[in-house]
Amino acid sequence: MPRMVGSSSNRLLLAVVIAVLVFGFTPISRALLSSVHGSFAQTPYSSLALATPSAADAGFPSGEPVPVELANHTGRTTTYRWSATESGALISLGEETLRGGQTTAILVPSRGAVTGTLRISLTGTSIFVTVPILKS
């Protein structure tokens, strides 16, 4: 197969590099990247986690508060409503309003819980944490 040699091959390579650079910095490139989920922008999210993850193995005594951390990385102020249930029975409710990028600690009361599993969830989402409740 013949190979291109000389200044025409260098010009072709330069033209391809320039085309890639121009396309990479145009508004349509951002739209195309976004349409295929290839954008480098951070995806907004919220998170709920135990303040000390190792405590999940040990469990919490019934009646003691369960420390959890709620983080808002949605980029806007959001009001979160949370609930703690055990075997379908409501143990406690709460509400927190967080600005974008803010994290807060919540002490979820477990009074009324019995030995079993406590589920702490954010209302209207599929975000939840489960913790074992031990006999006090």
> pLDDT tens digits for the chain (136 residues)?
555 555 667 788 888 888 777 766 666 666 666 666 555 567 788 999 999 888 888 888 888 899 999 999 998 999 999 999 988 889 899 999 999 999 999 999 887 778 889 999 999 899 999 999 888 7
- Angstrom distance (rounded) from CA 59 to CA 108: 14
Give the distance between the most distant pair of CA atoms in the chain: 84
- What stretch(es) of the chain map to CATH 2.60.40.1930? 45-134
- Angstrom distance (rounded) from CA 130 to CA 56: 8
Tokens of 74: 């949605």
Tokens of 41: 């922008």
The pTM (predicted TM-score) of the whole model is 0.67
The gap from C-alpha 108 to its chain's centroid, in whole angstroms, comes to 20
CATH class for the domain made up of 45-134: mainly beta
